[in-house]
């Protein structure tokens, strides 16, 4: 790579780069005043800045990221910064810093964005192994953030602790998009470099093989992180050559439980699933990973959960042999396609109160939806209402647990679907939520688990609806995803019953 040639090209048609004036506190670049250097990185400096004569939101703290460009600098810095300048303005939501402004390369390149207080997760690496609960918490928050970015057509491709921060409320924020790829933008990095791009320990096998458009690469990197936080060790070491990077195509990591005895089998299952060499054997979306991390009892345990040794030499040799010269299968062209192929469908089932015909109709609607989406995951949810004040009877008159009873009812309801569609266990989960407000519980669950589609029944009795309000109407109003409300059909009791005839408390 002739970096001189590259640097010269920066001043393309303008005869070279302007001489950089020193960056020091008080200097004003466009409408921003440099206040304090917060961070000196290999590729860029981060400055705290204030907006001169600003009319914006004064509560928003700002930082300016300025690339370190000197003569003969690695072009990766320049192209990476260019990529980041293109991508950051395209992103929105709580999981990225808010974009404010950018400055181009002909004068002073920079990006001004919202400052995320605090330090990155990098600091915690030195404290690994962390408490299991904390590993789960980190994993679930980062998976949630990743799902949101994948939905915005972005693959991050450099997920690692130093690129993860947290807002005060715990929301994970991903930073540094210098290696990222956005479906709707030209990929400037695709053709530029002849070495795999990424951070050695975290790079997915397909990234090592130059695939840059698979969101499941980010799940591999997250798996590496979770492994490290759980065990205190890196699953694939810290390779510094391409050959070293390629080892992950055929050498398994040591199972976490072999290093850390109190790692629960389900967590090992989750981590090793993230670290599968073939992307199609990993979680298909970050949303599915977040769902598993939030419902350990629903994780389907396979051989991965029980492994205490890495694969035998012979198995490794076989995999090495087949990895020779393999090319990854053509990954899907678009990030969002991958997500659309694996939607999460939530069936909200009122097992105790809904009429049998309504339950049947609900089941039929859900069956058709799952049938149309071969990669869909179905989460069956029922809400056990608890009193807002005071103690609840958690057992019924006969002394049986209400929770277990609901779970049994829910599984019974779903049985025809799981039988008809031959849903393997991993694609079907059951959740009994305990909450005073049914609608809020459903909306909250859907949001936390990145549900794509809620299917629920309209409340069967107009009397109940009149006195308790319509749960489905509230879910429709407050949920961020598609909601299908199933009715019993025209002429059914719920439509035909004159409102005045309903009895209170029916």
Partner 1 sequence: MKTAYITDLHANREAVEAVLEHARSQGVQQYVLLGDFVGYGADPGWVVDTARELVRQGALAVQGNHDEAVVRGASPGMRPDARYVVDWTRAHLDATQIDFLASLPMTQHRGDQLYVHANAWAPAGWDYVHSRVEAVRSLHATDARYTFCGHMHEPKLFHVSGTGKAGDFTPTPGVAIPLPPHRQWLIIPGAAGQPRDGNPAACYATFDEGQGALTFHRVPYDHETAGAKIRAADLPQRLAARLEEGQ
74, two tokens:
């690695």
DSSP 395-463: B-TTS-BHHHHHHHHHHHHHHHHHHHHT--GGGEEEEEEEES-HHHHHHHHHHHTT-SEEEEEPPS-HH
> Binding to partner 1 by residue 89, rule CB under 8 A?
yes
Asked if residues 262 and 133 have their Cβ atoms less than 8 Å apart, the reply is: no
CA–CA dist 190, 281 (Å, integer): 25
Residue 220 vs residues 202, 270, 274: alpha-carbon distances, Å = 7, 11, 5
Q: Residue from 34, 47, 75, 366 that binds partner 1 (CB under 8 A)?
A: 75
DSSP-assigned letter for residue 258:
H
Nearer Cβ to partner 1, position 13 or 389?
13
Helix axes 286-294, 265-274, angle to 10 degrees: 170
CA–CA dist 318, 185 (Å, integer): 39
What's the min distance (Å) between Cβ of 211 and partner 1? 16
Nearer Cβ to partner 1, position 319 or 334?
334
Nearer Cβ to partner 1, position 75 or 256?
75
What's the min distance (Å) between Cβ of 218 and partner 1? 21
Of 293, 266, 300, residue with least CA distance to 428: 300
Q: Residue from 62, 76, 82, 124 that binds partner 1 (CB under 8 A)?
A: 82
Q: Residue from 39, 122, 184, 368 that binds partner 1 (CB under 8 A)?
A: 184
As a three-state string, the secondary structure of 478-489 is HCCCEEEEECCC
Of 40, 62, 84, 288, residue with least CA distance to 181: 84
Q: Residue from 30, 35, 73, 183 that binds partner 1 (CB under 8 A)?
A: 183
What's the min distance (Å) between Cβ of 88 and partner 1? 10
DSSP 216-237: HHHHHHHHHHHHHHHHSS-TT-
Q: At residue 184, what are phi and psi to the nearest 5 degrees?
A: -95, 5
Segment lying near partner 1 (by CB under 8 A), choices 189-197, 215-223, 292-300, 391-399: 189-197
Taking only Cα atoms into account, the Rg of the chain, rounded to an integer number of angstroms, comes to 26
What's the min distance (Å) between Cβ of 184 and partner 1? 4
**Residue entry with tokens 């939520």:** 433
> Binding to partner 1 by residue 337, rule CB under 8 A?
no
What's the min distance (Å) between Cβ of 85 and partner 1? 7
Q: Residue from 79, 136, 251, 379 that binds partner 1 (CB under 8 A)?
A: 79
Nearer Cβ to partner 1, position 86 or 259?
86
Binding footprint of partner 1, residue count (CB under 8 A) = 29
Q: Binders of partner 1 among 236-255, rule CB under 8 A?
A: none
Q: Residue from 191, 240, 327, 393 that binds partner 1 (CB under 8 A)?
A: 191
The widest CA-to-CA distance across the chain, in whole angstroms, is 87
What's the min distance (Å) between Cβ of 67 and partner 1? 13
- Chain mean position to CA 116: 19
What's the min distance (Å) between Cβ of 378 and partner 1? 31
**3-state SS assignment for residue 276:** coil
What's the min distance (Å) between Cβ of 194 and partner 1? 10
CA–CA dist 215, 3 (Å, integer): 31
| Alpha helix positions (H), 174-323 | 205-208, 216-231, 242-246, 256-259, 265-274, 286-294, 303-306, 313-323
Q: Binders of partner 1 among 283-302, rule CB under 8 A?
A: none
> Binding to partner 1 by residue 192, rule CB under 8 A?
yes
Nearer Cβ to partner 1, position 82 or 373?
82
Q: Residue from 36, 127, 190, 352 that binds partner 1 (CB under 8 A)?
A: 190
Nearer Cβ to partner 1, position 12 or 317?
12
208, two tokens:
């090592």
Segment lying near partner 1 (by CB under 8 A), choices 85-93, 209-217, 365-373, 381-389: 85-93
What's the min distance (Å) between Cβ of 480 and partner 1? 22
Nearer Cβ to partner 1, position 97 or 460?
97
Nearer Cβ to partner 1, position 89 or 357?
89
Q: Binders of partner 1 among 99-158, rule CB under 8 A?
A: 104-106
> Binding to partner 1 by residue 195, rule CB under 8 A?
no
> Binding to partner 1 by residue 86, rule CB under 8 A?
yes
Q: Residue from 13, 40, 309, 496 that binds partner 1 (CB under 8 A)?
A: 13
**What's the CA angle centered on 247, arms 245 and 253, to 5 degrees?**
110
231, two tokens:
């065990």
Sites of contact with partner 1 (CB under 8 A): 1-2, 5-13, 75, 79, 82, 85-86, 89, 104-106, 183-188, 190-192
């Amino acid at each position: 790579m002739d970096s001189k040639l590259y640097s010269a090209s920066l001043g393309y048609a303008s005869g070279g780069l302007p001489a950089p004036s020193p960056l020091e506190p008080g200097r004003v670049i466009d409408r921003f005043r440099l206040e304090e250097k917060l961070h000196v990185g290999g590729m860029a400096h981060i400055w705290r800045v204030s907006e001169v004569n600003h009319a914006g939101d004064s509560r928003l703290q700002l930082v300016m990221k300025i690339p370190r460009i000197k003569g003969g600098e690695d072009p990766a810095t320049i192209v990476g910064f260019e990529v980041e300048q293109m991508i950051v303005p395209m992103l929105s939501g709580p999981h990225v810093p808010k974009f404010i402004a950018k400055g181009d390369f002909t004068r002073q390149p920079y990006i001004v964005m919202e400052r995320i207080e605090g330090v990155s997760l990098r600091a915690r690496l030195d404290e690994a192994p962390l408490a299991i609960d904390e590993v789960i918490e980190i994993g679930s928050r980062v998976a949630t953030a990743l799902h949101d970015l994948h939905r915005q057509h972005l693959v991050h491709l450099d997920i690692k602790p130093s690129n993860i921060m947290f807002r005060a409320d715990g929301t994970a924020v991903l930073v540094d998009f210098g290696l990222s790829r956005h479906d709707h933008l030209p990929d400037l990095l695709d053709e530029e470099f002849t070495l795999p791009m990424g951070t050695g320990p975290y790079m997915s096998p397909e990234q090592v093989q130059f695939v840059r458009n698979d969101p499941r690469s980010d799940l591999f990197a997250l798996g590496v992180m979770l492994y490290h936080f759980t065990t205190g060790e890196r699953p694939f070491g810290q390779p510094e050559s391409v050959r070293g990077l390629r080892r992950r195509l055929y050498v398994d990591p040591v199972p976490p439980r072999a290093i850390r005895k109190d790692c629960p089998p389900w967590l090992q299952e989750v981590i090793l699933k993230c670290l599968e060499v073939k992307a199609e054997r990993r979680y298909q979306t970050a949303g599915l990973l977040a769902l598993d991390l939030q419902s350990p009892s629903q994780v389907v345990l396979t051989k991965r959960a029980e492994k205490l040794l890495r694969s035998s030499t012979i198995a490794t040799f076989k995999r090495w042999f087949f990895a020779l010269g393999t090319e990854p299968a053509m990954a899907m062209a678009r990030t969002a396609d991958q997500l659309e192929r694996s939607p999460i469908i939530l069936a909200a089932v009122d097992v105790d109160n809904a009429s049998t015909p309504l339950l049947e109709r609900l089941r039929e609607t859900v069956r058709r939806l799952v049938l149309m989406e071969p990669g869909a995951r179905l989460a069956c949810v029922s809400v056990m209402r608890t009193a807002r004040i005071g103690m609840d009877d958690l057992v019924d008159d006969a002394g049986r647990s209400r929770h277990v009873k609901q779970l049994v009812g829910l599984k019974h309801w779903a049985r025809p679907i799981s039988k008809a569609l031959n849903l393997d266990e991993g694609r079907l989960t059951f959740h009994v939520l305990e909450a005073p407000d049914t609608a809020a519980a459903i909306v909250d669950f859907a949001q936390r688990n990145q549900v794509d589609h809620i299917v629920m029944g309209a409340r069967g009795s107009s009397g109940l609806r009149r006195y308790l309000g319509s749960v489905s109407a509230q879910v429709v109003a407050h949920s961020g995803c598609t909601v299908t409300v199933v009715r019993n059909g025209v002429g059914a009791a719920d439509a035909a019953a004159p409102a005045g005839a309903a009895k209170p408390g029916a």
